[in-house]
């Protein structure tokens, strides 16, 4: 794995000239068009834009779930272009946390076991896994639900379990794709306040793709995409 120089270590994400063309839909579609995008450690960035703007494609490329057609992508100093599928899987396991709109919890496992799952893949011992999982659930206010399965939890509770699972391993970067899509307004605000607290108190770097104005208000930086290009990039000192 080729790593960036020491002076660039504060950059958790660095995309240079990233394009993504999909050719399996008949006429080629350019989802991203020469995007330059950086995220500094500790930022809370919202990728915004209408459907088809390229925000989810950019998030997936940063997360190693998709590969660029052109351009370079570095995450926490690692050049993703040079990684094979096994190495990409290892990077996702050890450096990234994911929160999806569908939660992606394992239905036959309890909330605690879902949080423990990634640590189990990392080879963390059973006692340490359980302790860290319970501490994380406690910090997110759902420790009393630790033995319930996803089907016994509300949407907001499931999203908190998903967040606990994503950050319990102390990832370099948390990626959230439309995290408020399946939540009501009150639960959305609770979720956003939680993400902001995680960002501010734990220093977790967050990048979220969303079309929800409420999510954008809680981010300290908003990057708007249009037709596969960055249309605007603004930072805010005052957030919701």
**Where do the domains of the chain lie, and which CATH numbers do they carry?**
6-235 (3.40.50.300)
pLDDT number for residue 194: 87
pLDDT at 240: 58
pLDDT value for 73: 97
Q: What angle do CA 54, 56, 58 make, to 5 degrees?
A: 65
pLDDT of 67 reads 95
Q: 118-123: long-range contacts (C-beta < 8 A, 24 or more apart)?
A: 118/93, 118/165, 118/168, 118/169, 119/168, 119/169, 121/93, 122/93, 122/94, 122/169
What is the three-class DSSP state of 155?
helix
The pLDDT assigned to 27 comes to 85
- Global confidence as pTM: 0.88
Q: What pLDDT, on the 0 to 100 scale, is given for residue 7?
A: 41
Which residues lie closer than 8 Å to 186 by C-beta, 6 or more apart?
Answer: none
Residue ranges for the chain with pLDDT beneath 50: 1-8
């Amino acid at each position: 794995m080729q790593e960036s120089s020491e002076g660039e270590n504060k950059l958790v994400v660095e995309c240079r000239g990233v394009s993504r063309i999909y050719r399996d839909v008949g006429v080629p579609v350019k989802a991203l068009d020469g995007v330059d995008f950086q995220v500094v450690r500790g930022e809370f960035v919202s990728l915004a834009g209408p459907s088809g703007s390229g925000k989810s494609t950019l998030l997936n490329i940063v997360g190693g779930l998709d590969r660029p057609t052109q351009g370079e992508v570095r995450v926490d100093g690692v050049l993703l272009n040079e990684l094979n599928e096994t190495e990409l899987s290892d990077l996702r396991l050890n450096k990234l946390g994911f929160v999806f709109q569908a939660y992606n919890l394992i239905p036959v496992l309890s909330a605690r076991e879902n949080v423990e799952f990634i640590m189990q893949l990392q080879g963390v011992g059973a006692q340490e896994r359980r302790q860290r999982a319970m501490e994380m659930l406690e910090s997110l206010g759902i420790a009393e639900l630790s033995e319930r399965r996803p089907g016994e939890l509300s949407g907001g509770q499931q999203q908190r379990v998903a967040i606990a699972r994503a950050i319990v391993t102390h990832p370099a970067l948390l990626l959230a794709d439309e995290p408020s899509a399946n939540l009501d307004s009150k639960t959305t605000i609770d979720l956003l306040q939680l993400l902001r607290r995680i960002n501010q108190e734990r220093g977790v770097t967050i990048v979220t793709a969303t079309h929800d104005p409420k999510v954008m208000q809680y981010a300290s930086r908003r990057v708007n995409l249009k037709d596969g290009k960055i249309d605007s990039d603004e930072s805010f000192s005052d957030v919701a």
